[in-house]
Protein backbone atom coordinates (compact mmCIF):
# COMPACT_ATOMS: atom_id res chain seq x y z
CA UNK A 1 0.00 0.00 0.00
CA UNK A 2 1.29 3.39 -0.98
CA UNK A 3 1.51 5.92 1.88
CA UNK A 4 -0.08 8.61 -0.31
CA UNK A 5 -3.22 6.64 -1.00
CA UNK A 6 -5.62 6.19 1.83
CA UNK A 7 -8.12 3.45 1.96
CA UNK A 8 -11.53 5.08 2.01
CA UNK A 9 -14.44 3.74 3.97
CA UNK A 10 -18.05 3.73 2.74
CA UNK A 11 -20.08 6.81 3.71
CA UNK A 12 -22.15 5.01 6.34
CA UNK A 13 -19.01 4.15 8.28
CA UNK A 14 -18.26 7.83 8.94
CA UNK A 15 -19.90 9.57 11.94
CA UNK A 16 -20.69 12.94 10.29
CA UNK A 17 -23.51 11.80 7.97
CA UNK A 18 -25.27 10.20 10.94
CA UNK A 19 -24.82 13.28 13.10
CA UNK A 20 -26.25 15.49 10.33
CA UNK A 21 -29.23 13.16 9.80
CA UNK A 22 -30.03 12.97 13.52
CA UNK A 23 -31.52 16.51 13.66
CA UNK A 24 -34.19 16.02 10.99
CA UNK A 25 -34.95 12.53 12.33
CA UNK A 26 -35.62 13.94 15.81
CA UNK A 27 -37.91 16.62 14.33
CA UNK A 28 -39.93 14.01 12.40
CA UNK A 29 -40.34 11.85 15.52
CA UNK A 30 -41.37 14.88 17.61
CA UNK A 31 -43.94 15.84 14.94
CA UNK A 32 -45.44 12.35 14.97
CA UNK A 33 -45.69 12.41 18.78
CA UNK A 34 -47.31 15.87 18.72
CA UNK A 35 -49.85 14.75 16.12
CA UNK A 36 -50.67 11.69 18.22
CA UNK A 37 -51.17 13.80 21.37
CA UNK A 38 -53.40 16.26 19.48
CA UNK A 39 -55.53 13.44 18.05
CA UNK A 40 -55.99 11.48 21.28
CA UNK A 41 -56.53 14.18 23.91
CA UNK A 42 -59.46 16.51 24.45
CA UNK A 43 -59.13 20.28 24.70
CA UNK A 44 -62.01 21.17 27.01
CA UNK A 45 -61.56 24.91 26.50
CA UNK A 46 -62.61 24.99 22.85
CA UNK A 47 -66.33 25.35 22.12
CA UNK A 48 -67.87 23.48 19.20
CA UNK A 49 -70.11 26.40 18.29
CA UNK A 50 -67.66 29.27 18.76
CA UNK A 51 -69.10 31.16 15.80
CA UNK A 52 -72.63 31.15 17.25
CA UNK A 53 -71.25 32.15 20.64
CA UNK A 54 -69.49 35.09 19.03
CA UNK A 55 -72.71 36.23 17.39
CA UNK A 56 -74.53 36.04 20.72
CA UNK A 57 -72.19 38.52 22.44
CA UNK A 58 -74.49 41.48 21.72
CA UNK A 59 -77.47 39.62 23.15
CA UNK A 60 -75.56 38.92 26.37
CA UNK A 61 -74.52 42.57 26.61
CA UNK A 62 -78.16 43.62 26.26
CA UNK A 63 -79.06 41.39 29.21
CA UNK A 64 -76.30 43.00 31.28
CA UNK A 65 -77.69 46.42 30.37
CA UNK A 66 -81.19 45.30 31.39
CA UNK A 67 -79.88 44.25 34.82
CA UNK A 68 -78.17 47.64 35.19
CA UNK A 69 -81.37 49.46 34.21
CA UNK A 70 -83.29 47.91 37.11
CA UNK A 71 -80.20 48.18 39.37
CA UNK A 72 -80.01 44.52 40.30
CA UNK A 73 -77.55 43.12 42.77
CA UNK A 74 -77.27 39.67 44.29
CA UNK A 75 -75.47 38.44 47.38
CA UNK A 76 -74.47 34.83 46.85
CA UNK A 77 -73.42 32.60 49.75
CA UNK A 78 -72.14 29.05 49.32
CA UNK A 79 -71.86 26.41 52.02
CA UNK A 80 -70.81 22.78 51.58
CA UNK A 81 -73.93 21.59 49.72
CA UNK A 82 -76.18 24.63 49.72
CA UNK A 83 -76.52 27.97 47.95
CA UNK A 84 -78.36 31.03 49.24
CA UNK A 85 -79.00 34.08 47.06
CA UNK A 86 -80.43 37.42 48.13
CA UNK A 87 -81.57 39.42 45.08
CA UNK A 88 -82.38 43.13 45.34
CA UNK A 89 -83.58 45.66 42.77
CA UNK A 90 -82.93 49.25 43.87
CA UNK A 91 -85.66 50.45 41.49
CA UNK A 92 -88.25 48.15 43.05
CA UNK A 93 -88.63 46.00 39.93
CA UNK A 94 -90.59 42.78 40.24
CA UNK A 95 -88.27 39.87 41.10
CA UNK A 96 -88.79 36.41 39.58
CA UNK A 97 -89.89 33.39 41.60
CA UNK A 98 -87.12 31.24 40.10
CA UNK A 99 -83.48 31.91 39.22
CA UNK A 100 -81.18 29.99 36.92
CA UNK A 101 -77.62 29.85 38.20
CA UNK A 102 -74.59 28.57 36.35
CA UNK A 103 -71.34 27.80 38.17
CA UNK A 104 -68.50 27.20 35.72
CA UNK A 105 -64.87 26.40 36.38
CA UNK A 106 -62.58 27.97 33.74
CA UNK A 107 -60.59 24.78 33.08
CA UNK A 108 -62.58 21.86 34.52
CA UNK A 109 -65.78 21.83 32.46
CA UNK A 110 -66.89 18.49 33.88
CA UNK A 111 -67.47 20.10 37.28
CA UNK A 112 -69.79 22.87 36.01
CA UNK A 113 -73.24 23.05 37.60
CA UNK A 114 -76.56 24.52 36.46
CA UNK A 115 -79.12 25.13 39.18
CA UNK A 116 -82.66 26.44 39.42
CA UNK A 117 -83.42 28.10 42.74
CA UNK A 118 -86.90 28.93 43.95
CA UNK A 119 -87.78 31.63 46.41
CA UNK A 120 -89.86 34.64 47.19
CA UNK A 121 -89.27 38.28 48.08
CA UNK A 122 -85.74 38.09 46.72
CA UNK A 123 -84.55 35.20 48.92
CA UNK A 124 -83.62 32.03 47.03
CA UNK A 125 -81.97 28.83 48.23
CA UNK A 126 -81.35 25.30 47.11
CA UNK A 127 -79.16 22.23 47.32
CA UNK A 128 -76.11 21.72 45.12
CA UNK A 129 -73.08 19.49 44.79
CA UNK A 130 -69.95 20.60 46.62
CA UNK A 131 -67.56 22.71 44.55
CA UNK A 132 -63.82 22.17 44.49
CA UNK A 133 -61.34 24.88 45.34
CA UNK A 134 -60.47 27.52 42.78
CA UNK A 135 -61.99 30.42 40.90
CA UNK A 136 -65.56 29.84 39.66
CA UNK A 137 -67.54 31.93 37.17
CA UNK A 138 -71.09 32.64 38.39
CA UNK A 139 -74.02 33.66 36.18
CA UNK A 140 -77.43 34.44 37.68
CA UNK A 141 -80.35 35.00 35.29
CA UNK A 142 -84.11 34.96 35.23
CA UNK A 143 -85.97 32.20 33.41
CA UNK A 144 -87.17 34.55 30.67
CA UNK A 145 -83.56 35.55 29.82
CA UNK A 146 -84.37 39.23 30.30
CA UNK A 147 -81.35 40.03 32.47
CA UNK A 148 -78.24 38.46 33.94
CA UNK A 149 -75.65 39.10 36.62
CA UNK A 150 -72.16 37.69 36.15
CA UNK A 151 -69.06 37.54 38.31
CA UNK A 152 -66.64 35.17 39.95
CA UNK A 153 -66.08 33.60 43.33
CA UNK A 154 -62.87 32.22 44.84
CA UNK A 155 -63.35 29.06 46.89
CA UNK A 156 -62.71 28.27 49.69
CA UNK A 157 -61.27 31.72 50.51
CA UNK A 158 -64.41 33.77 49.80
CA UNK A 159 -67.61 31.68 49.98
CA UNK A 160 -69.70 34.85 49.70
CA UNK A 161 -69.78 37.36 46.84
CA UNK A 162 -71.77 40.43 45.80
CA UNK A 163 -72.72 40.46 42.12
CA UNK A 164 -73.75 43.75 40.56
CA UNK A 165 -74.88 44.58 37.06
CA UNK A 166 -72.14 45.67 34.67
CA UNK A 167 -71.53 49.41 34.89
CA UNK A 168 -73.19 49.67 38.29
CA UNK A 169 -71.27 51.00 41.31
Q: Which residues of the chain have pLDDT under 70?
A: 1-5, 43-48, 56-59, 167-169
Cα–Cα nearest to 97, from 124, 72, 76? 124
Residues contacting 153, CB < 8 A, separation 6+:
76, 78, 135, 136, 138, 159, 161
State what percent of residues in the chain have pLDDT above 70. Answer: 89
- Verdict on whether the full-model pTM lies above 0.85: no
CB count, 10 Å around CB of 140?
23
- The CATH T-level fold of domain 71-164 is Immunoglobulin-like (2.60.40)
Please report the pLDDT score of residue 15 as a whole number.
92
Q: How far apart are alpha carbons 151 and 101 in whole angstroms?
A: 12
DSSP bridge partners of 134: 155
Amino acid sequence: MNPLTQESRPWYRHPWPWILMAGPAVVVIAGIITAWIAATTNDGLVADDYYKQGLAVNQRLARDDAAAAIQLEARLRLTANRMDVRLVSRTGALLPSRLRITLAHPTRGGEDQKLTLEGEKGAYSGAMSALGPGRWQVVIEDEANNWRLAGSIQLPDSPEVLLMAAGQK
